[in-house]
Structure formats: structure tokens, C-alpha cells
Structure 1
Amino acid sequence: MSERPWWVIVNPVAGNGRTGRRWGGLEARLRLEGIRMEVVFTQEPGHATALARQGLEAGFTTIVGVGGDGTLHEILNGLPLEDPGRMQAIRLGMLPLGTGSDFVRTFGLPRDPIAAALRLREGRIHLVDVGQVTCQRAGETITRYFINAAGLGFDGEVADRTNRGIKAFGATGTYLVYLFLTLILYQNKTVKLRFDGVEHSGRMNSVLVCNGRYFGGGMFIAPPAEVDDGWFDVILLGDLGKGEIMWNLPRVYRGTHLTHPKITWRRAKEIHVEAKERMFLQAEGELIGEAPASFRILPRALAFLA
């Protein structure tokens, strides 16, 4: 059981403000349970990245985020992931209070934040893979990290609308509302990909690069995925029509969609994606850029508490 204090990064606007409203009572209960922590709050988009770095500079080695997958994504990008020596001492955990907390579903972490915190305190570590993506944003080339899933195309546009819209329908409901809005306007893209040197091209709805199994507030998008196997699970949603998407959506929640003739699944360590049309890129539900984009896996790069 770890006795060292946690550096807790709270995103008060996560879950449409639910995290901020609940945190006061939750903090009091956690302290009654004997959990020692220093608490800081994000004040703007991207702030969790800076706060993660601040905590490490102050000597904390256990960082716990309070929010959803977007909060997790920001904290991840504040860690020295390219420095394995420093990463050996760092632990990351999440208390799920955001709109979507898909990565922790893979570990069966309790949805109740108190129960989740008590589990984190046990100190059980999972060495998990991390994805690195280099893409375009505002005419510049940037590099970001992700832990659960990234997607280009339809998925990226859904993420954009979800982040700009009202999140008042719960994780699944919110995602579905903006999925259907995007479905009305979206046009499939002409895409060229390279998986570990092998080329593939065609009209596609989405390119999904997965480390975890779930996204979109509970969609079982990559059933074969393992977070510690050193491989991406790549799901190509081909030239699907609007009716085909709606008809097959229930299969995505059950994880039975990979047998569809217009859906391709394969594993890869490196992927490069180009598109003839503009193709947005999301990671952990956050819009981060657009194609062209290159991905590579960092095997077992992070000690995740769950």
C-alpha cells in the first residue's frame, strides 16, 4: 500500500461541470479514508498538462486525475514519456468523473470515485503501452501522446462537435447525439495508409488506432485490444453509408462489428495516414489536429494504477 501523497489534478468542468460540483464532498471522504493528497484545479483547456509537470517538479511521483478521458489525455502529455529512466518512478491513476471514462473500463475500475480511490491506494500497477502521434495543426507539425484510442475522419468530427456542444445526456447519450448530427453532414474520405510498411488505400469513413478496447462512452470498438501487448489495434471503417452506420451501431456496443465486410481489423506498431480531403484527428475524445498523421507505439511506457 502506497503511503506517499498524491498529486491530484481535478478538472472541475469535466462531465459538464459534474466533477466540480461533487469534488468538495468527495475530497472530504477521501481524507477521512486517510488518503494524503495535494489538490490542484485546472482553469483552462490544456492546463492539466502543465499541472502534471508542476507536480513532478515538486517531487510527487503519483499523479491522480479527476475527470474523464480528456483529462487523462492532458495529464499524459505532461509526463516525460520519452525518458524511461524518469518514468520508472511515476505512477498515474484516474478517478472517473468525466463525460466518458473509457480507458479505465478495460481494467474494471469501479465507477464510484471513492471505491476507485481505495483501489488505487492498493498500489496495483499495470505497465501499459502509450501511443505517439505526429500530425498537423494550424499549419504546424505537432507530436502528442494518447493512451486509449485515436481516430481520424468521422470520429474526429464527432469529437469536435461533442467538445463544442452541451454534455447533458451522460457519456453514451452525449456521444450519440453528436454522432447523429455528424452523420447528416459527413462525407467519407479518400485515404492512403501504411501499416508497418504495407500500403492500403480506399474510401473510408474512419481510421481508428486503438490501445484500449472502449471509446465513445462505452462502445466496444476494439474487442481484441490489449493495453500491454506492444501493438495498436487498427480498425478501418470503410465506405459505409449512413444507413449502414445506423444499422450496425448496436453491433459496435456488443463488439460484434469486426465481421462486417466493410470493416477491417489488423495489428500494427507504426501507421501513417494521408487523406485527399481534410481529415480531423481526435485522441481520447479531444480534437488535436488533422492528417497526415503518423503513429508509433511505446511499449509498456507507463505505470498505470487500476
Structure 2
Amino acid sequence: MSIAIILNGISRKKKFFYKTILPALQKEHSINVFETQYAGHATGLAKAAANKFEVIISAGGDGTLNQVLNGVLSIEQNLPVLGLIPLGSGNDFAGAVGLTPRPEQMLLLLKQYKPQPTDVGFIKCHDSANKEKQHYFINVCSMGMGPATVMQMEKAPSWMGTNLRYLTSIIKTFFQHKPELVELKTQTWNWRGTVRVLAVANGKSFGNKIYLAPEAKQDDGLFDLFVAANVPLFRFLWFLQTLKRARKINDARIYYNTTDKIEITSEQPVAIEAEGELVGFLPATIRMKPGAVAFLR
């Protein structure tokens, strides 16, 4: 079995990977490690590896996995099996499917080798020049406070480190972001209003265990939708504590739904993010691709 690991080169757990995880895996398998050198590098590494390896394992957080996914799906056929060693700060998708950084778990998954069909979301949207753009995601994409936080992080100095940049960015977003007017359509639901957060989820949580979709499954062919309308700021902060406990919110301004396709429009330049990466802007169509990848989980 040919195995490639694509490692986030700036992961704070890189030493743990080389000291503990990799030696354990190398006792039973021949492993090729490709370490990212710059932002977005994992996509290119995954695309180059996709035709050469039977298994590609992402070693990093949700962002690294998102890049690996897009690199692998760019070849469209004879896809390798995907795996994940969660080394990020949030690891939301890993939490949804029960993965840990323990090498014993990955060794067992490789020994049993029963990759599971896993759903993937597919976004068609537009870039800042209004050109059509396409992007895959496996966990959550969102509009509202999510991309606003991503844009704040892009402005923050790199010396602050990921965790501090995220913390300061989300604080700024809470107090600066204004709810945005959107219109969404599914096969069974039309809705128009201002949103603090609109999330389209395949996984259960985003933003480091904020459970917008605690009942989501990764193989049912459906997105779980979460809409937080124009909720007063401090009420929304209160709601976040409920979401952190993986509980649904019972409030007239919070909406839950399911669909395999959603169309979202706005008269404003509303941004879209997926796994902490700015993807593009509305209008967008987001479709589910059932069982698009085989995943070790």
C-alpha cells in the first residue's frame, strides 16, 4: 500500500508528529511525507500525489484537510483513499468522525482498510472580479461572522500565532460585523432576512467546537443548515454557550433545516468561507456530492 502524508509545515504539533506519530506508522508501512512550505501548498501537493499513492493522509487541521480534498478531487477519477491525522487547533471534522492524533488509531484503520464513502459539498460562487469559482468542502462552509473572522485573521500579524490571531479576530468580528441581508432557496424552503451566521454543514461543528449541526451525518447525502438571523449581539453570545454544549437553540430567530442543494443570493458582496479559508462571494449554489470520497474513519 502506497501512502503519502501531507503535513502542515507550521503546525504547532509538528514535533509530536515526527517524534511519535511517524515512527509508529513507519514500523508497519512505507510512508512518504510532504510538508507544506507556504499558504495553499497542500492543494498542489495533494494534486501531485493523487495519481501516485493509494492513500493520502492529511496531517493538520480542518484547513489543511480542505486543501488536500480540493487537490485530490481535481483529478476527478481513480481517486486515492483519504485519511486524517488531526493536528490543528480546532479539528472539527475529526471530532465529527471520531478521529484522534493517536498513531494506534491510524494503524488500526490502515490494517482494517475499510474506507467509508463520505459526502462532500461543492460550491459554485464568484470571486472578487465576479468570475465563477468552484470549491469543495467536507466540513462546513458559512456566511456572516465566519468569513468576517477569516478576513480579520488575514489582517492580523503572523507573529501573533494562530490561536491569538483567531482570538483577537473573533473578538473584533463580534463587535464590528453587521448582519447581512441574504435570500436562500432549497427544494422545500425559501427564506429572506439578515443573518449573523448562515452555515451549510456536512460536519457537526466549526470554529473550534461550535456545534451548529449536532445531528449531521457525513454519509446521508444531506447538508444540515443553520441560520442565526438578526439576533442581538449579546443574546447571540449567550446562544454560543448552548452551541458549545452541542445543543440546539429553541428561538424564533434560529432556523434549522436539511437539504442536498441550496441557492443563496444577496444584493451585497457577502463572502463565503470554508474551513477557515475565504472561498468567494454570493451568489452561490451549494450541492451535496454523496459519497464523493472514500475516507478512513
Do Structure 1 and Structure 2 share a fold, with TM-score over 0.5?
yes
Which of residues 85, 91, 111 is equivalent to 1:101? Answer: 91
In structure 2, the CA distance between the partners of 1:198 and 1:142, relative to structure 1 (3 Å rule), is same
> In the alignment, residue 116 of structure 2 is paired with which amino acid?
H
Task: After TM superposition, give the deviation of residue 256 of structure 1 in Å.
Answer: 2.2
Correspondences of 1:1-306 after superposition (within 5 Å): 4-14=1-11, 18-26=12-20, 28-57=22-51, 59-80=52-73, 83=76, 86-87=78-79, 90-110=80-100, 112-122=101-111, 123-139=113-129, 140-162=131-153, 164-165=155-156, 166-167=160-161, 169=163, 175-196=166-187, 198-306=189-297
The answer to whether the 8 Å contact 2:7/2:36 transfers is yes
1:203 match: secondary structure? strand
Task: After TM superposition, give the deviation of residue 302 of structure 1 in Å.
Answer: 0.8
The answer to whether the 8 Å contact 1:189/1:276 transfers is no
Task: After TM superposition, give the deviation of residue 162 of structure 1 in Å.
Answer: 3.8
2:120 match: secondary structure? strand
The answer to whether the 8 Å contact 1:120/1:305 transfers is yes
* CA deviations over 1:214-256 (Å, ceiling 9, x no partner): 1111112101211100111111111111111111111011122
Counterpart Cα distance in 2 of 1:180 and 1:86: 44
Identity %: 28
> In the alignment, residue 94 of structure 1 is paired with which amino acid?
L
> In the alignment, residue 31 of structure 2 is paired with which amino acid?
M
> In the alignment, residue 107 of structure 1 is paired with which amino acid?
V
Question: How many residues are matched?
Answer: 292
In structure 2, the CA distance between the partners of 1:280 and 1:240, relative to structure 1 (3 Å rule), is same
1:117 match: secondary structure? helix
> In the alignment, residue 139 of structure 2 is paired with which amino acid?
N
Counterpart Cα distance in 2 of 1:147 and 1:31: 25
Counterpart Cα distance in 1 of 2:58 and 2:223: 24
1:133 match: secondary structure? strand
Counterpart Cα distance in 2 of 1:62 and 1:95: 13
> In the alignment, residue 149 of structure 2 is paired with which amino acid?
V
Counterpart Cα distance in 2 of 1:51 and 1:168: 22
Counterpart Cα distance in 2 of 1:207 and 1:147: 16
TM-score between the two structures when normalised by the length of structure 1: 0.88
Counterpart Cα distance in 2 of 1:258 and 1:130: 26
Counterpart Cα distance in 1 of 2:25 and 2:230: 52
Unaligned runs of at least 5 residues, structure 1: none
Give the superposed CA RMSD.
2.1
Unaligned runs of at least 5 residues, structure 2: none
Task: After TM superposition, give the deviation of residue 289 of structure 1 in Å.
Answer: 1.4
The answer to whether the 8 Å contact 1:132/1:295 transfers is yes
Task: After TM superposition, give the deviation of residue 292 of structure 1 in Å.
Answer: 1.4
Counterpart Cα distance in 1 of 2:272 and 2:222: 20
1:86 match: secondary structure? coil
